[in-house]
Chains A and B, each alone.
Chain A
Amino acid sequence: MTSIYLDFEKPIAELEKKIEELKTFNLAFNQNNIASIDDEINSLEIKKEKVIREVFKNLTNWQIIQLSRHPLRPYTLDYIELITENFIELHGDRLFMDDRSVIGGFAFIKKNNGNKRSGFQSVLIVGHQKGRTTKEKIYRNFGMPNPEGYRKAQRLFKLAEKYSIPVITFIDTPGAYPGLGAEERGQSEAIASTIYTLSNLKIPVISIVIGEGGSGGALAFGVANRVFMLEYSIYSVISPEGCASILYKDASKTENAANTLKLTAKDLFNYGIIDGIIPEPLGGAHRDKVKISQEIKSIILDAVSELKNLDHETLRAERIKKFLVLDKFND
């Protein structure tokens, strides 16, 4: 089970620790579990579920933000592993380097019924990738792409278009990397032209915000025919920390900024910015990676089968029209 807990997960942590202890105790004594301990474990499990329900009933925006950045939250590669088969990762932008904060490659998604060749759907998956250990975090640049990440993505989007393969993007970044080299090599242009490429694409594009949707660096992968957010993911023009330090001129006002920014899946769904919310397992995606992957998989397959019958021009036109009126300005 999980071993890293957020502050508000602490009550759950205590119960899990107890359950774990009892299980170990049981194992240590014999193969045939002692019935009374089994009962104890069962009642603790029930209690745990109740506590989780209680904790998750009324999450604040700040708690949701913390969940979206939970150190155990599944990342793009986790979903690729759990959702797809035969994933073939493709590297590099053919211009400068391979950006490891962006994963891209082709794979099959097995349809739920039938195991024949026609039971598979080819897809391109492009997503931000964060790291879990310190070493991995550095390797993945904390999920913050340089221009090369966006240029690799564009290359793959066009490749998918050539073969009429639907594009799936996973969004999970604090933002595009604010570095010297990134500026030198045109971070702005990379983001703008990625948005442009996605706007023009004549194949189905489906985006899912799985964690942090940080500003333009996230939007670059978010211009899709269907945009979904996981229940405890966020999507915002600026991080609450950035907002607090710029507008409130006070970094301790992060929670106020989190509330006023309206960046949760529920907020964005109510505003009509996204098409749907993907519900997470009790206690968040990190508590049941298999279950959330199945949810995501079925959302992808449904959206693909809806979009697959539209002709190429319609797919482009529909997406452009969607983004022209998304802000409801003329309503």
Chain B
Amino acid sequence: MSLFRPRSNFKKEQVKSGIPEGLWVKCPICGEIVYKKELERNLDVCPKCNYHFRLNFKKRIDITFDEDSFSPLFEDLKPDDILEFKDTKKYKDRIKEDQEKTGLLDAAVSGTGMIEKIKAAAVIFDFSFMGGSMGRVVGEKITRTFKYGIEHKLPVIIFSSSGGARMQEGIFSLMQMSKTIAIIAEYNRTDLPYISVLTDPTTGGVSASFASIGDVIIAEPKALIGFAGPRVIEKTIHQNLPEGFQRSEYLLDHGMIDMIVERKDMKNMLKNILSIFLNV
């Protein structure tokens, strides 16, 4: 593996699928070349600029929940091609490919687990499955997780990492925005907390629905968070965007999130928030 692969290739691969194969990894934000093992020891956080790389669902579960405490829910929900959608590829084939690549049936996992001995229900997005996009399965998982939270009196935490609604499911994916918000309206009749954790990236229909209405909204450092993508905005307004635009720090400055929490401190912060709201 060469250090000197073409720049553009390197960057694209890395941002799309999290940590690429090979011994060395280049940080998509600062360009630092990091030894992969070191990056992993550092919870997939760039040692130079503190960019938090996209995590796959397994690593997220490992760093969030007490050992062996996570048990999945609604695992059997499978996507279907309701519109018989085809662009350059059939949607059916895209699903199959990403299922093989990730070992997931769709872009989010739900389950329950203990966070420092406090039980919570959670939904975890995995960006490597079709960009973490929200279609019917993801929306249904979120909905069922909140229902489960209501029935079992559990707090709900959602770790978002998503480009937004899944175009291949057309109007059905748009309707996941109102569906997930409708269940939160029900959930909010209880006194249970909903914590929304925004990780890189959280945009479009995910950012403009459940992710933006948590009781507490936390972001990982330097995550891209916004409604419209930066390129779309540049094309619309014909200007360059300011440095750090739509990154967590920018959102914190503008009052859109409660706090930025580093990965190494996330579990502890979640525990602290839960214990205050649940009074345990």
Contacts and interface: CB of A to CB of B under 8 A. Distances in A.
Interface of A: 176-180, 182-189, 191-193, 195-196, 199-200, 215-216, 219, 222-223, 235-238, 243, 246-249, 253, 256-257, 260-263, 267-268, 271, 273, 319-320, 323-324, 326-327, 329-330
14 contacts: A177-B236, A186-B254, A186-B255, A187-B208, A192-B181, A192-B208, A192-B209, A195-B177, A219-B174, A237-B167, A256-B87, A261-B83, A326-B178, A327-B140
Which 10 A-B pairs rank lowest in CB-CB distance, beginning with the nearest? A178-B228, A247-B87, A187-B227, A237-B174, A188-B207, A192-B212, A191-B208, A323-B182, A199-B185, A188-B208
Contacts of B211: 188, 192
Given A186-B256, A249-B88, A199 B167 contact: no
Given A237-B205, A247-B88, A247-B167, A327 B227 contact: no
B178 A223 contact: yes
A175 to B, nearest CB: 9
Contact of B226 (A183, A215, A216, A326): A183
Interface string B111-155: 000000000000000000000000011011001000000000000
Interface in B242-275: 242, 245-246, 254-256
Contacts of B184: 196
A248 B88 contact: yes
A320 B178 CA distance: 9
A244 to B, nearest CB: 9
B227 A178 contact: yes
Contacts of A243: 87, 167
Given A191-B212, A237-B167, A238-B167, 7 more contacts: A180-B239, A183-B226, A192-B177, A195-B209, A236-B170, A261-B170, A329-B136
A219, A246, A263 — which one has the most chain B CB atoms within 10 A of its CB? Answer: A219
B93 to A, nearest CB: 13
Nearest to A182: B227
Interface residues of B, number: 56
B227 A191 contact: yes
A183 B233 contact: yes
B232 interface: yes
Interface of B: 83, 85-88, 136-137, 139-140, 143, 165, 167-179, 181-186, 204-205, 207-213, 225-229, 232-233, 236-237, 239, 241-242, 245-246, 254-256
A324 B182 contact: yes
Nearest to A325: B179
Nearest to B87: A247
Contacts of B227: 176, 178, 182-183, 187-188, 191, 216
B13 to A, nearest CB: 18
Contacts of A323: 175, 178-179, 182
Given A196-B184, A329-B140, A235 B171 contact: yes
Given A185-B254, A247-B88, A268-B171, A180 B233 contact: yes
Contacts of A238: 165, 167
Nearest to A191: B208
Nearest to A257: B87
Contacts of A195: 177-178, 181, 209
B171 A178 contact: no
B94 to A, nearest CB: 10
B171 A180 contact: no
Contacts of A193: 212-213
Nearest to A185: B254
A115 to B, nearest CB: 39
A260 B87 CA distance: 8
B85, B137, B171, B172 — which one has the most chain A CB atoms within 10 A of its CB? Answer: B171
Contact of B165 (A237, A248, A329): A237
Given A195-B209, A247-B87, A323-B178, A262 B171 contact: yes
Contacts of A188: 207-208, 211-212, 225-227, 256
B83 A260 contact: yes
B26 to A, nearest CB: 25
B170, B204, B256 — which one has the most chain A CB atoms within 10 A of its CB? Answer: B170
A237 B171 contact: yes
Nearest to B77: A329
